[in-house]
Structure 1
Amino acid sequence: MRIRILWPAGRTTAELRSTPTSDRLWQALPISSTALTWGDEVYFDTGVSAAPEPDAQQVVEPGTVAFWTDGDSLALPFGPTPISRGDECRLASPCNVLGTLDGDPAVLRTVRPGDVIRVERA
């Protein structure tokens, strides 16, 4: 499952693994939302709800496509957050890991809080 993520100053694509949460998100696409940032993480509401999966993780690699079950949101970390230790990407709580962004995740630095962000099938 390939997705495209677009915002006013940029775009990226990602490959999603086959997980229950990925399947739910895929069925809901396309979605538009309002971007929020938390340190070097972009996140936004998806309108999709999902339970934590057994392999949910709090510390992930930059460019991970994660689903924050507490906020029904996609979380796209590209560097440290306010609770990170060192340079790690530490999410607010354990999140379902859905996949990985293609290319350099630093492209997300161009996302501004309040930007309209769209996720669609690629």
Structure 2
Amino acid sequence: MTLRIRISWPAGHTTATLDETPTSKALLGALPIASTAHTWGEEVYFDTPVSTAVEDDARQVVEPGTVAFWTEGDALALPYGPTPISRGSECRLASPCNLLGSLDGDPRVLATVRDGDPIRVERAEP
């Protein structure tokens, strides 16, 4: 079963393909989500109504375009480049996050998200 979401904001949108994990299933069950974008270096994150535990494969350093869930903030975290705590060009999240999947296409599209932008997440058509 392919799980896909669409993330949209005033200047653009992207889609992501999610793996079947407890957190991704909880996220899908909460869609659609309307939230406010926050930026932290080259990462976009935003609050969700989902609250979940840290999974066994949670990681702090991930590839650009990873769709991660920050359990400490109940937020989706979408890194596309270095954050303020990165070493070099790595994508280092604030703390270990659950890995949900990855963005389809170039994650640099997230550079058009501005702090405070309204952001929406919904199911994408397969």
Same fold by TM-score greater than 0.5: yes
Distance 2:107 2:17 in 1: 13
Distance 1:50 1:9 in 2: 30
Residue of structure 1 equivalent to 2:79:
77
Q: CA deviation at 1:14?
A: 0.3
Q: CA deviation at 1:119?
A: 0.2
Q: CA deviation at 1:47?
A: 1.1
* 1:35-55 Cα deviation digits (max 9, x unpaired): 000000000001110100000
TM-score normalized with structure 1 length: 1.00
Residue of structure 1 equivalent to 2:36:
34
Residue 56 in 1 paired to residue 86 in 2? no
Residue of structure 1 equivalent to 2:92:
90
TM-score normalized with structure 2 length: 0.96
What stretches of structure 1 move > 6 A for 4+ residues in a row? Answer: none
Aligned residue identity for 2:97: C
* 1:12-58 Cα deviation digits (max 9, x unpaired): 00000000000000000000000000000000001110100000000
Gap runs ≥5 in structure 1: none
Distance 2:28 2:49 in 1: 12
Residue of structure 2 equivalent to 1:4:
6
Distance 1:80 1:114 in 2: 20
Aligned residues, how many? 122
Residue of structure 1 equivalent to 2:109:
107
Distance 2:18 2:47 in 1: 18
Residue of structure 2 equivalent to 1:66:
68
Residue of structure 1 equivalent to 2:118:
116
